Amino acid sequence: MKVMTVIGARPQFIKACMLSKLFHNDSKIKEILVHTGQHYDSNMSDIFFKQLQIPKPNYHLGVGSDSHGKQTGKMLIEIENIILTEKPDIVLVYGDTNSTLAGSLAASKLNIPIAHVESGLRSFNKKMPEELNRLLTDHLSTWLFCPTEEAIKNLKCEGIEKGVYLTGDIMYDATLHYRDIALNHSDILSQLKLSPGDYYLATIHRAENTDNLNKLQALLMALGELDKSVVLPLHPRTKNKIEFWNLKKFLSPSNIKVIEPLDYFDMLALESTAEIILTDSGGVQKEAYMLEVPCITLRDETEWTETVQAGWNTLVNSLDYNTILKSVSDVRVPSTHPSLFGDGETAKKIYNILLTYKS
């Protein structure tokens, strides 16, 4: 069986690594790995392949940054050509990026069945590009691998019940596998002169925050007013927007430690020992929960509603400077930590389901 995997962004590298290991060790499966190049910075791409021991991509499209339409269109053209050349039995996609949508559209047009890992998530905000990507991909997919019960409920509400599987979250597999490795190998805390539990970690990259001057300014102002050091790995999109909006002065407070995007081990180490994580990233929200670190999500809604209901995640309007500050001071570590994301065996479950397919 030939499986064509389409990935292009940091969270997808993490999700794909566990399943790719299983494919690589099975002589009955040949994986064709397509890297779209959606994340093109070496700190957000190349180093992840090395650390996670993901095989070198068979195809690297080098699409890079662009508008949603242009980026998706470029990917669609290239992926279609690869499908025609490789003739895969299955196209496998992860999450909700433009790479995911392009892979799904190309496969569906050529009548290749699609397997969607991390299916059924909904923020119910169609202004988010990610929401459109995941909606369309789910409605095109043959196999829908859901991380939570809530995801299955969302699909059922849309009339999707066939091919739906509750597998748990594949990022939990990776977090369990790599957490101790990261803590043992990373020296990021000593580099930044930080002590465990005595700093906050912040990530900002979504267009809804970076492309809005007032929101981005409010976020940066709030970070500068917090009572502890704030580590801010600066995403290329955010860096460009800070320069575009002339907001560099808001990075000058002494408590803000601006650093380059981190490799997986350094990021996992910082997440593991932060007191609080502030983020607009879906993946970082999940990792915070898996590592039992309170999270403040800098958005009006989240696709990971279970983490909010469990009390480990707080939604905060990123335009409200004072509410951001108050949400940090109000954080309390919950007394319980429900098992939301499975048992760490998600990759094996997906692998075993795909093995039963006969084209």
Positions in the chain whose pLDDT score sits under 70: 39-45, 66
For residue 179, the model assigns a pLDDT of 97
For residue 356, the model assigns a pLDDT of 94
For residue 67, the model assigns a pLDDT of 77
Reduce the DSSP state of residue 246 to 3 states and report it.
coil
For residue 318, the model assigns a pLDDT of 82
| Nearest of 81, 89, 79, 82 to residue 28 by alpha carbon | 89
For residue 33, the model assigns a pLDDT of 97
Active site annotation includes 185: no
- Give the strand pairing for 295-297 and 114-117: unpaired
For residue 44, the model assigns a pLDDT of 55
pTM: 0.92
For residue 46, the model assigns a pLDDT of 76
Taking CB atoms within 8 Å and a gap of at least 24, the contacts of 177-180 are 177/18, 177/344, 178/52, 178/264, 178/265, 178/268, 179/268, 179/272, 179/291
With b for 16 or more beta-carbon neighbours within 10 A and e for fewer, the 52-80 pattern comes to: bebeebebebebeeeeeeebbbbbbebbb
Residue labelled with tokens 């339409």: 69
Q: Which tens digit of pLDDT belongs to each residue from 47-79?
A: 888 898 888 899 999 887 767 788 899 999 999
Domain architecture of the chain: domains with CATH: 2-169+342-355 (3.40.50.2000), 177-329 (3.40.50.2000)
CA distance 61 to 110: 20
Residue pair 90/103 in contact (Cβ under 8 Å)? The answer is no
For residue 66, the model assigns a pLDDT of 67
Catalytic residue among 35, 39, 116, 205: 205
